[in-house]
């Protein structure tokens, strides 16, 4: 004799789940009292006077920095000796040693300084941001007096004595073509 059983599956979209009111379950009186005491404490905290924060300008009646903000915010000051620096990274993408000059508009009146990179080698160059103006870097190759301006830089906020790692700046590559060396962004 075989027993025939109906297959039963739960279909969440079709069948409802039994809902229970926890406050009405066993011991509900104590739970109701606890919930009522918590609601009263929240209401008392909301109606207590707030002291110590003046209204923010432009937001009448609000406290703190902006609408809905101000409570528990900390004002952090930055160290005075830190500053912004513009940084570029130049890679030698040729099979030769390359001698080139690099200058930055905000360092030593834009005077170029000579550097030598071996094949595959890279180096970062940096200069301070002065009065909100990022430095403009320029590169000169060999005896060619015409500089190539590097249009983009990364800006970093660092302390005194900082020097960038090899990949901190906006990346450029030195290449060689029919007319000699040229530089391109990577």
> How do residues 168-179 score in pLDDT, each as one tens digit?
889 999 999 888
Q: Which residue has the higher pLDDT, 27 or 117?
A: 117
pLDDT band at 82 (very low <50, low <70, confident <90, very high): confident
Instruction: In whole angstroms, give the CA distance from residue 126 to residue 156.
Output: 10
Mean pLDDT, the chain, as a whole number? 75
| pLDDT given for residue 59 in this prediction | 44
pLDDT at site 126: 92
Those residues whose C-beta lies under 8 Å from the C-beta of residue 5, and which sit 6 or more positions away, are: none
Strands 137-141 and 122-128, how do they pair? unpaired
Q: What is the pLDDT of residue 52?
A: 45
> In the chain, what are the domain boundaries?
83-185
Q: What is the per-residue pLDDT for 61?
A: 46
Using CA atoms, how far residue 18 sits from 6, 12, 21, 39, 52, in Å, is 22, 12, 10, 27, 50
Q: How far apart are the first and last CA of the chain?
A: 80
Domain 83-185 in CATH 2.60.40? The answer is yes
**How large a percentage of the chain has pLDDT more than 70?**
62
Assign 86 a pLDDT band (cuts: 50, 70, 90): very high
Residue 162: its pLDDT value, please? 85
Query: For residue 30, what pLDDT band results from cuts at 50, 70 and 90?
Result: low
Alpha-carbon gap, residue 65 to 68, rounded angstroms: 8
C-beta of residue 101 within 8 angstroms of C-beta of residue 114: yes
How much is the pLDDT for 160? 81
Confidence of residue 23 (pLDDT cuts 50, 70, 90): very low
Please identify which residue in the block is written with the tokens 């000051």: 77
Higher pLDDT, 22 or 142: 142
CB atoms within 10 A of CB 29: 9
3-state DSSP assignment of residue 34: helix
Structure tokens at 19: 């809902």
CA atoms of 156 and 125, how far apart (whole Å): 12
Q: Please tell me the predicted confidence (pLDDT) of residue 49.
A: 53
pLDDT at 135: 93
């Amino acid at each position: 004799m075989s027993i025939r059983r109906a297959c039963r599956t739960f279909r969440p979209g079709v069948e409802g789940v039994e809902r229970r009111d926890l406050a009405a379950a066993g011991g509900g009186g104590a739970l109701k009292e606890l919930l009522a005491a918590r609601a009263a404490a929240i209401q008392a905290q909301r109606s207590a006077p707030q002291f110590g924060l003046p209204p923010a300008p432009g937001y009448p009646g609000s406290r703190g920095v902006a609408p809905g903000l101000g409570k528990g915010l900390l004002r952090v000051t930055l160290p005075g000796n830190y500053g912004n620096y513009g940084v570029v990274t130049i890679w030698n993408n040729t099979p030769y040693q390359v001698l080139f000059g690099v200058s930055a508009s905000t360092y030593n009146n834009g005077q170029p300084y000579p550097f030598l990179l071996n094949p595959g080698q890279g180096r970062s160059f940096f200069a301070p941001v002065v009065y909100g103006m990022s430095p403009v870097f320029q590169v000169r190759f060999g005896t060619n007096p015409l500089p190539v301006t590097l249009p983009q830089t990364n800006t970093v906020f660092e302390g005194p004595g900082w020097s960038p790692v090899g990949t901190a700046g906006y990346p450029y590559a030195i290449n060689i073509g029919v007319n000699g060396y040229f530089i391109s962004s990577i």
